Structure 1
């Protein structure tokens, strides 16, 4: 692998105008944003800077850039509670045993016991666990959840949380 190929495989973290990490882009897209003035280099700690050369320019591309333009904020709504979205949220994994086969949806607190069909009450369960739990709560069935259900969050917020978690791990 040549040095040029290695540099072109790098990804750059893009921050909004108010320094919120919003996405990752490839280095080619970052160069375009820098050259058109839509972004500026963001110096954070001791992060690497890649030098990209063309016949007429040498551009230093840092690992982080900040947008200088204000874009329209896309509206994002919490998706409806349905099979596809619950499976996506739970990573196609049974929330009781971790299985990935024969998946169904399960109400943590059954509808007959006053539970609701909402993000914080519906989880992915395999057929076996769903039948074993029956018309009981996880505590009554002695089947603890692997993770507590919650509504999906805005993709930008999820990216920012992941970025800061990774950044904190690197510093330790």
Structure 2
């Protein structure tokens, strides 16, 4: 589940049992209510907490800012073929001109010429480039993608997702979001 990320909502970063986020983009977040429910159902460990707390007449608890699942969820090796995942693979930019606006996707070999809707035949394109290329091959249109399309792994998409951080990152999340990023010498 994903929620709107606003500091006043006290969202909880959800980590797998190996302390890696379940997802980077969208970031794996739960509402504080769902996080507390998971704590009481003994499905998660609290890793870090906010200073804010919830209270009842007989109980008080600081809100979890980071939790880890008690049971490891094996991530899929390859992501589903979706428009969003194609855009994420291509870093939300037109593979012909680099534009970030008015994105759609283009078949390198047009469907009318037998092209399939697959990872290695579909790229992100802006509408003007897509219209310019039209029903032609890349060679006939003299338009070639900046990067050859490929079937990404979940890790490829996670790496790209890190390039688009959410509008809010609580300080307690930072070590868990970037701990496996290669350090510069």
Q: TM-score, normalised by structure 2?
A: 0.54
- 2:138 alignment partner, SS class: coil
After superposition, the CA RMSD in angstroms is 4.5
Residue correspondence of structure 1 range 76-155 to structure 2 within 5 A: 78-79=79-80, 85-86=82-83, 89-90=86-87, 94-97=94-97, 98=99, 100=102, 103=104, 105-107=106-108, 110=109, 117=116, 118-125=118-125, 126=127, 127-131=130-134, 134-137=136-139, 141=142, 145=146, 149-154=149-154
User: Unmatched 5+ residue regions in structure 2?
Assistant: 1-5, 23-27, 166-173, 179-185
1:3 is aligned to none
User: Unmatched 5+ residue regions in structure 1?
Assistant: 1-5
2:69 is aligned to 67
| Structure 1 residue ranges (4+ consecutive) displaced by more than 2 angstroms after TM superposition | 47-50, 71-80, 85-101, 103-106, 124-129, 133-138, 140-145, 147-154, 156-170
How far the C-alpha of 1:30 sits from its partner, in A, is: 0.7
Of the candidates 19, 31, 40, which is equivalent to residue 45 of structure 2? 40
| Structure with the higher helix share, 1 or 2 | 1
RCO comparison, higher one (Cα < 8 Å, 6+): 2
- Contact residue 48 and residue 63 of structure 1 kept, 8 A: yes
